[in-house]
Amino acid sequence: MGKVRTAIVKRTAKKLLELFPDKVSTDFNTNKELVKTYVHTKSKKLRNQIAGYLTRLARMKLETQSQVQGQ
């Protein structure tokens, strides 16, 4: 079973991926700095959750692109 993420984490990560597709990386630390720059979060935990989900979305996007090219 996977982790349950709140709607604010999912919404924010998807919006960042939509607005900055060239800056989003598959590296957590890079995404953490991106979130710190563009999103004002009250807690470090929330920032890390957004960055983690953003990393997951980037990896899923990369995987689907490689599958499409492989066909």
| Size of the chain, expressed as the number of residues it contains | 71
Cα separation, 42 vs 21, in Å, equals 24
Residue 66 has what pLDDT? Answer: 84
Number of neighbours of residue 47 by Cβ within 10 angstroms: 19
**How many angstroms separate the CA atoms of 44 and 54, rounded?**
15
Q: How confident is the model at residue 65 (pLDDT cuts 50, 70, 90)?
A: confident
Three-state DSSP class for residue 25 = coil
Per-residue confidence band for 3, with pLDDT thresholds at 50, 70 and 90? confident
Nearest residue to 60 via CA among 30, 34, 24, 33: 24
pLDDT tens digits for range 7-63? 999 999 999 999 999 999 999 999 999 999 999 999 999 999 999 999 999 999 988
User: What local confidence, expressed as pLDDT, does residue 13 receive?
Assistant: 96
Instruction: List the domain boundaries for the chain.
Output: 25-70
Band the pLDDT of 71: cuts 50, 70, 90.
low
